[in-house]
Amino acid sequence: MPTPARPLSFASAPVSTEETRALLQERIALYAKTAGLVSYAFLFVGNALAVLLSPRITPTMVLQHPPAYWHLAAATLAVAVWLVTRRGHLEHRTLFALDVGATLGPMAGYGIMAAVANARPEERLDLVVLLIALMTLSMRATIVPSTSRQTAVVGSLASLPVLGVAWQLGERTGLNPGPVLYSALWCVISVIVTTLSSRVIFGLRERAAEARRLGQYVLMDMIGEGGMGTVYRARHALLRRPTAIKLLPAERLGAETVARFEREVQNTSRLTHPNTVAIYDYGRTPQGIFYYAMEYLEGVDLQKLVEQRGPLPESRVVHVLVQVLGALSEAHAAGLVHRDIKPANVVLCERGGVLDTAKVVDFGLVKDVSPGGDATASNVDALIGTPMYMAPEAITSPASVDARADLYALAAVAYFLLTGHTVFEGNTVMDVCAQHLHEAPVPPSERAGRALDPGLEALLLKCLEKNPDDRVQSARELSRALLDLPIRTWTEADAQDAWVDWTAPPESSAEPTALRVSLDARDDQFLSPSK
């Protein structure tokens, strides 16, 4: 059974998504606008120069010259196509018709312009129209995304006015079929060249689009970069859902890195708490790039928020902590210890119309302590975390770290939110770690220079105890204790006031990063207090 012929339309072009359809409409608008403005420029500048340089030509003669009307009509038709395509949503078949109209319509006008000019044969207006056709088709091939088949059809139709003018010239001079054959030869050459140009440009566009596509996701722009890969804002090609894509480039591939990357996505996907970032998909491209798609959070992390706005009010801090503790409670119940709780890994955003929704992100350093957990992968004998927020046991005995280390880190985050300073500050990583081991924290009210709720301060200092047994023992217990404090509730109106004039700050280069140090290679001098 023969295969039915495929109708000529933009379905053969890369328009399988709304994005490519919109691009097509935008490019046809640009093509029509450019063609119209260039034509207007030739009309007015050419006639102005004719009046200025030739004493025999007057403005009245120009205004009464019939070819000028047809030139004006051709330019106006192109501009009309631009006005139609510059806004709104046009379907593929409509776009195809407008593409043909923006090319064939003006070319017909130029052909009639030459036909009614009553010029002498030696002026060879057929070559003028041929030159216009070459310029028009080249412009279209460069601007409009099109398959070679479409370009060949549009180019052939646009050549008809050229052949008509050449035939008229041959009839007047009695030289037919010479002028027609000559023009036809050049038309064939121009159609071939522009068709090849479209094929090359179309192919490059497809390759560029493919390079930006990961499965059903199309990459938009980079929004972050770290040791475990690069994060891009992306969009699902069919669902139109904003998404964040984290990539692990091929040059970073290694057994440990890939295992950590896979562990991050697998562990995060096990969690369903609304304050944990959601994972949508995971895969590997044919080029060997690992990626996973997650919820796109259009907001601000706590690090940048404090850097730009300064310390937060107690009520807002408690509001954020309770949400984070909800996410950690689920993770800890599943046997997962985050190990990198820090301000940069808590994002405030809007979800379902609710402002100041906290989301815990980046489970790349998670430790699985569940009975079925992968101890080989998670219990690495190394310093893991961000120094300013590492619990003492994470420094001295990483393999023994449990959920209480996350509570220590979260208390350090709360300290930063209230004071604008980390619990301990030093010139080196070793200095900071030594303070975590041996120094008592300065009460946050002293660092903040303002009175804080005594119960909140005592609770945070309890969570910052060196011995895990002396801390609050669970995320649920800490959450209940925070909610029992006599601190005013952070309301929806408060959140709206806090976000009303918010502008995203520039990317901070001083954001603390996670640390991974082999214990076999470290200097243990900082584990003992200096003499």
**Catalytic residue ranges:** 340
Name residue 482's amino acid: L
C-alpha distances out from residue 403 to 369, 476, 529, Å = 9, 11, 26
Cβ–Cβ < 8 Å for 513, 386: yes
Tell me which DSSP letter residue 252 carries.
G
* Runs of H (alpha helix) within 334-439: 375-378, 392-396, 403-419, 429-438
**Phi, psi angle pair for 511, to nearest 5°:** -65, 130
3-state secondary structure 421-438: CCCCCCCCHHHHHHHHHH
What is the chain's length? 531
What angle (nearest 5°) sits at the alpha carbon of residue 348, between those of residues 350 and 472? 130
The tokens for 271 are 């969690």
Helix axes 148-173, 125-143, angle to 10 degrees: 170
Place of tokens 């001083």: 510
Helix (H) or strand (E) holding 244: strand 242-248
Q: How many CB atoms lie within 10 A of CB 149?
A: 15
Task: Return d(Cα 421, Cα 153) in angstroms, integer.
Answer: 68
Task: Return d(Cα 328, Cα 390) in angstroms, integer.
Answer: 16
What angle (nearest 5°) sits at the alpha carbon of residue 344, between those of residues 340 and 350? 120
Strand partners, 214: 217
Tell me which DSSP letter residue 55 carries.
T
The tokens for 301 are 């992390």
Q: Could you tell me which of 30, 32, 168, 9 has the C-alpha nearest to residue 95? A: 9
Task: Return d(Cα 405, Cα 328) in angstroms, integer.
Answer: 11
Cβ–Cβ < 8 Å for 415, 460: yes
Task: Return d(Cα 334, Cα 267) in angstroms, integer.
Answer: 9
**Phi, psi angle pair for 476, to nearest 5°:** -65, -40
Task: Return d(Cα 160, Cα 184) in angstroms, integer.
Answer: 9
